[in-house]
Structure 1
Amino acid sequence: LRFLKKKYTNKKLHDYFDRVSKHVNEHIDNFLGEKAAQQNRPTMINLAGLTKKARSKDPFLIYRINVVVDNSELTRPPIVIETAPSYQNLFGTIEHIFEPGGIWKSDFTQIKGGSILQANGGYLVFNFLDALTDMRVWTGLKRVLKNNQIIIQADQLPFAVATSAIKPEAIEVDLKVLVIGDYYTYQYLYEHDDEFRKIFKIRADFDTEMPNNHTAVKNYAGFISKICRDENLLPLNRAGMAIVVEAGVNLAGRNSYISTRFSDIADIVRESHYWAQQDGGEIITEKHVEQAIKARKERLQMSEEKLQRMILDDILMIETSGKKIGQVNGIAVFDLGDYSFGKPSKITSEVGLGNSGIINVEREAELGGKIYNKGVLIISGYLNGKYAQNTPLTMNASICFEQSYSGVDGDSASAAEIFTLLSSLAKLPLRQDIAVTGSVNQKGELQPIGGVNQKVTGVYQICKARGLTGKQGVMLPHQNVPDLMLDKELIKSVKSGKFHIYAIKSVDEGIELLTGIPAGERGKKGKYPAKTVHGMVQQRLRQFSEKMKNYESGGQST
């Protein structure tokens, strides 16, 4: 002890050495043999059995040092990533030893440190949602970060008797805690927990996509190479690497961006390795990556195949040829979480006399979402701007997604809905071999939509199954053209003229393509040319107005 006192100058250590020296002198019998102990303390002879039991244990146990955390070999602040942030793993615990009779005992050697102590002086990282499964974790974490102290406590032992209760001293801690979670958890705690915003003052957002440029592609290649090295996977050639990058662009949903969902990219590389091994190759090629992507899709597309079969069997009535008044094919996207796909959906409209304006069937049936309902209201604004400058709109019109029995949301069908209304009012048939997607503002301008690749592919698959005629296609907003990332077969069909993609900027462009008749420009007196779509619509609305006046004045309408 004298040597240790000279070596270490810490006052707490000196106090501890003094207590050890005093304790040894007061319990010298623990270090003597049984006979020497009896001679030294004859009054203890009647307790020989107990003394023997005590001496059977390690007499040096009480003087041992329990090193809870040892970061002495680190040359930098510790960085601890806790993958299972339970209360015990984060804050530590005091373990118990079971003894006969159902008694649990413990001592200071059973004190175990947690990740907070391991990260003391450095950084602790864990997933927030994993920690919130036990509310003790969140309460304890706030207490530690507010007070900069941690007290290791023992867990309660149900249905057992504990004969020793240890309460270690509080340990000073100084660390940075980085929690990883989703946006919604952050917002909820920020709004409902005042302490959260005081403790976690720095927020950093991580996007699921990044700009698709040379730097991003280079980083992608580096990430893929690292996965191959770390997991002993076969290397990829340039063509195979390019297909993986293309898959990342597909995940982002836009040609100018690339996905940062690296776990999904890593899975594609792993599955490509499997197919390369099955092929007996020593390198992952373009063929193996495409095979992996195709296999992933086939595992997930059961719902898509069933819907396609229902369309081909005419259970879901979708027409891909001919012309119809007041009817057009819109395109719906089904999102199953890990897989999404598009399919055509029939949209119809009917018009008649009345003053109710547009009746949204989906809304009346309580199947329409807020964004969808807003899109229908925008259509009313478009009609007012086009045809109600001199006379009010006098009509009843209904819009319906046929054979749709679940919720409908989004405004990507508003262009198709306008086309069906104009068709019904002008009594002009619309082409059924062109499916339509696109949002519209009150000025009649097309606005970009999401899921464009799934929508184009879904329509193409139906047309292909029925036989490509060279006239079928998809009409979409011109802003979505840079987002197109279609498979090789579809691109080949477009290039050969078997399938078409029409990019439009306005309702006028779309209605001309669907009817083959000019949309028409309004003249100085507010009238459209008679042999144009808008002219025919305007004339029909005037007829409605005159018939309504006649009806309301006591006459009859036919």
Structure 2
Amino acid sequence: RGEGRTFARLLETLLKNLREIIPKAFSSDEYKNQRQILIDEHQKRHRQILQELEREALEEGFAFRMTSMGPILVPLYEGKPMTQEQYLALSEAEKEVIENRRQKLLNRINEVFERIHQLEMDLKNRVAELDTRIADFTITPLFRELLERYADFPEVTEFLTSLKQFTLSYLHIFRDSQEAPAQPQHLAPYQRFQDPFLPFKVNVFVDNSATETPPVILETHPTWTNLFGRIERRAFMGTYFSDHTMLKAGSLHQANGGYVIMYFRDLIVNPGVWEGLKRVLKNREIRMEDPFEHFGLIAPQGLRPDPLPFDAKVILIGDEYVYRLLTIFDEDFRDLFKVKVEFDYEIRKSQDIVTAFACFIRRLCLEERLLPFDRSGVAKLLEHAARMVSHKEKLTTRFGILRDIILEADFWAREERAERVYDRHVVRALESRKKRLNLLAEKIDEFIKEDVLLIDTEGAVVGQVNGLAVYDLGDFSFGRPSRITARTYLGRQGVVNIERESRLSGRIHDKGVLIMSGYLGYRYAQDKPLSIAASICFEQSYEGVEGDSASLAEACAILSDLAGVPLRQDIAVTGSINQKGEVQAIGGVNQKIEGFFRACKMKGLTGTQGVIIPKSNVQHLMLDEEVVAAVREGRFHVYAVSSVDEAMEILTGIPAGKRKEDGTFEEGTLNDLVDRKIRRALELLQRLEGRPEGEKPKEERRENEEQRDQQ
């Protein structure tokens, strides 16, 4: 760990030493003497060749001269250069002889100059060999030290060997500027523009020198370049160039040997990144590619780094819906991501958990420089954490929301110039948040107060009950009462759900109505057909109705209308039922109770008002302090029931009654009144249809005959 940074420093030191010792080696007397010997030897041979050429020219009657235009042969006459007049006075035969000799000498001159060129090349090579020998002797100890240090890393030793060869091949860039020739002309313009010592520059791609544990990278913006790295470029003379120092690591490189964490929704909104990540996980290597090339676009040519091995754990954070979609529709997902961890939105309360919550508050106060929390403030925040999950024995794990509340409570404490954050500051923060979000709730309360929405909170009415609904606005939810009415009449249609007929009912609500119909048949149609029809309706409801939490209230309204017994309007009802008449738990119980309490408060508390809830929801009660105080003082009531009979007894004040051995119910009870109503309805239907008692209806007889014909 951290060896890359060390290696970079060692190469910096190596380059510094090379730039110091190489010029010294080439400025030494020993080197100069050896080099001068080679030059003197070359010049001696050069003079000998020219002298021999001059002698041959004299023998042929020519004088040999070297000019800036090249070699010149001048014919001689009596040992002196021939003048133009003398040459013109010669006969044609004599001129021809001179020209033949000149041509012969020119051929000889070409041969001699070729030989001279070979001598110069030989000198250049011998000087280069001398330079290389001197430089190699000088730099070998420096490179040997590094090679011994990194002997266990073959790729590093190979690089150092090539770096030594580069040094020997480009000695001119290390020598004194007076002796250093221009850079080779065969290099491209951008190469001459680059730092000549670029091979000695180490790009520390990933530096973990400061970490003692495996790296953990949280990538909040997983674009292609942020994840897989990028190759930067520079513009020069209308083109782009890049080198190894322009390679920038991505999150996957930084997480090698550790963990990288990403939010899946951020991942999939960036085109191509998901498929690229899967390739990395399949091949266990990271290939740096230009995003333009990945999408089939034309990109400037640049580096193509070798793929790097990848060994890290990838953690994706997302919701259950996304996980299921990937599991079903992406074949690679299950093979690549084999471990699923679910983060619960709630945690069971214990002393250790309460202590951990207090530590969380303390740590946040230190990090954000907030006022310290008093124990009353911590207790109030814990109470709200339990209310958020609607459970007395559990706390929420949505720490982001708690953080916002802590920050706002600190603000109100500072407004009071308090030294600590107390419970009153937390309460004010919660009330302020509620005030900013509850405009719709205030409008509905206003409609109830002005009787625009008809809600009775006193008296008793047959076939009418106050149900309770919850409006979930995402960041805020509240409850409100809703009038539910039921009307029964002769017929065989069963229960007619007006919401369903008007296409305002959801599937779960429809299921609840069907379950309620099953309960009515189970309870009252064991020895006779259920010869009634009933219609139920959410009055003044113009939006969709969903959920089965109103099935208890709907059943009570139907039974009230069948028995002709009025239901108390000062008590609201919530809860779902099964086909056996057992009351089941529902959601939003606190919001529903508080919603009806607000309605009663606006119309005036009488001391008899309250709400019926399922007994299994008692553990979820985390009511507002005002409601708790009203219940404690007897001004408001919460009734927990486990069956339809218990709810009806509270709403009507009449015993429900048990079934006797003959199939009827105890006389004078509520169930007896319902049973008698159904029996009278059956008798009336039979008389209206004109058939003896016990005879099947025509429709039922026709269906039986058709079944026999098919058999």
Which TM-score applies when normalising by structure 1? 0.93
1:222 alignment partner in structure 2: 359
Question: Post-superposition shift, 1:51?
Answer: 9.6
Report Cα offsets for 1:146-201 as digits up to 9, x if no partner.
1111111223299x986542100111121111121111111111111121111111
1:16 lines up with 2:159 in the alignment: yes
CA contact (8 A) 2:467 2:481 kept: yes
Q: Which segment is superposed worse, 321-330 or 4-13?
A: 4-13
1:190 lines up with 2:350 in the alignment: no
Distance 2:316 2:629 in 1: 47
Question: Post-superposition shift, 1:390?
Answer: 1.1
CA contact (8 A) 1:113 1:152 kept: no
1:549 alignment partner in structure 2: 686
The one of 127, 146, 150 equivalent to 1:4 is 146
1:335 lines up with 2:472 in the alignment: yes
Question: Post-superposition shift, 1:37?
Answer: 5.5
Distance 2:355 2:146 in 1: 57
Distance 1:87 1:163 in 2: 17
SS state at 1:16 partner = helix
Question: Post-superposition shift, 1:236?
Answer: 0.7
How many percent identity over aligned positions?
Answer: 44
Question: Post-superposition shift, 1:297?
Answer: 0.8
Report Cα offsets for 1:264-303 as digits up to 9, x if no partner.
1111111111111111011101111111111111111001
Distance 1:305 1:237 in 2: 33
The one of 263, 278, 284 equivalent to 1:142 is 278
SS state at 2:549 partner = coil
Distance 2:678 2:465 in 1: 21
SS state at 1:284 partner = coil
Q: Which structure would you say has the larger RCO, counting Cα contacts within 8 Å and 6 or more residues apart? A: 1
Aligned residue-pair number? 547
The one of 567, 575, 583 equivalent to 1:446 is 583
2:227 alignment partner in structure 1: 90
SS state at 1:156 partner = helix
CA contact (8 A) 2:509 2:547 kept: yes
1:432 alignment partner in structure 2: 569
Question: Post-superposition shift, 1:84?
Answer: 2.0
Q: Which segment is superposed worse, 342-351 or 540-549?
A: 540-549
SS state at 2:512 partner = helix
1:478 lines up with 2:615 in the alignment: yes
Structure 1 counterpart of 2:465, one-letter code: V
Distance 2:627 2:298 in 1: 72
Aligned-residue RMSD, C-alpha = 2.3
SS state at 1:17 partner = helix
Distance 2:210 2:447 in 1: 67
Q: 1:426 to 1:52 in 2, by over 3 A?
A: closer
Q: 1:53 to 1:122 in 2, by over 3 A?
A: closer
Q: 1:337 to 1:177 in 2, by over 3 A?
A: same
2:350 alignment partner in structure 1: 213
Report Cα offsets for 1:204-250 as digits up to 9, x if no partner.
11100011222221111111111111111111111111000001001
Distance 1:372 1:262 in 2: 33
Question: Post-superposition shift, 1:541?
Answer: 1.1
CA contact (8 A) 1:31 1:59 kept: no
SS state at 2:292 partner = coil
Structure 2 counterpart of 1:463, one-letter code: C
Distance 1:395 1:237 in 2: 63
Structure 2 counterpart of 1:407, one-letter code: G
Structure 1 counterpart of 2:147, one-letter code: K
Question: Post-superposition shift, 1:554?
Answer: 8.4
CA contact (8 A) 2:190 2:236 kept: no
The one of 119, 127, 130 equivalent to 2:255 is 119
2:425 alignment partner in structure 1: 288
1:533 lines up with 2:675 in the alignment: no
1:261 alignment partner in structure 2: 398
Distance 2:188 2:550 in 1: 89
Distance 1:309 1:24 in 2: 87
- 1:497-508, aligned counterparts within 5 Å? 497-508=634-645
Structure 1 counterpart of 2:149, one-letter code: K
Question: Post-superposition shift, 1:531?
Answer: 1.8
Q: 1:379 to 1:155 in 2, by over 3 A?
A: closer
SS state at 2:655 partner = coil
Question: Post-superposition shift, 1:11?
Answer: 2.1
- 1:25-40, aligned counterparts within 5 Å? 25-31=168-174, 36=179
- 1:243-258, aligned counterparts within 5 Å? 243-258=380-395
1:105 alignment partner in structure 2: 241
Distance 2:482 2:300 in 1: 72
Q: Return the structure number with greater helix share.
A: 2
Question: Post-superposition shift, 1:83?
Answer: 2.2
Report Cα offsets for 1:447-481 as digits up to 9, x if no partner.
11111100000000111011111111111111212
Distance 1:11 1:238 in 2: 62
Report Cα offsets for 1:288-338 as digits up to 9, x if no partner.
111111111111100100111111111111111111111100000000111
CA contact (8 A) 2:203 2:244 kept: yes
Structure 1 counterpart of 2:166, one-letter code: H
Structure 1 counterpart of 2:416, one-letter code: D
Question: Post-superposition shift, 1:32?
Answer: 6.0
2:41 alignment partner in structure 1: none
CA contact (8 A) 1:34 1:52 kept: no
1:152 alignment partner in structure 2: 288
The one of 427, 440, 455 equivalent to 1:303 is 440
SS state at 2:272 partner = helix
SS state at 1:226 partner = helix
Query: Larger C-alpha radius of gyration, 1 or 2?
Result: 2
Q: 1:81 to 1:436 in 2, by over 3 A?
A: same
Distance 1:507 1:468 in 2: 26
CA contact (8 A) 1:106 1:164 kept: no
Structure 1 counterpart of 2:257, one-letter code: G
Question: Post-superposition shift, 1:258?
Answer: 1.0
SS state at 1:378 partner = helix
Structure 2 counterpart of 1:263, one-letter code: G
CA contact (8 A) 2:292 2:299 kept: no
Distance 2:487 2:352 in 1: 53
Q: 1:442 to 1:163 in 2, by over 3 A?
A: closer
Question: Post-superposition shift, 1:407?
Answer: 1.4
Distance 1:309 1:266 in 2: 33
Question: Post-superposition shift, 1:34?
Answer: 7.8
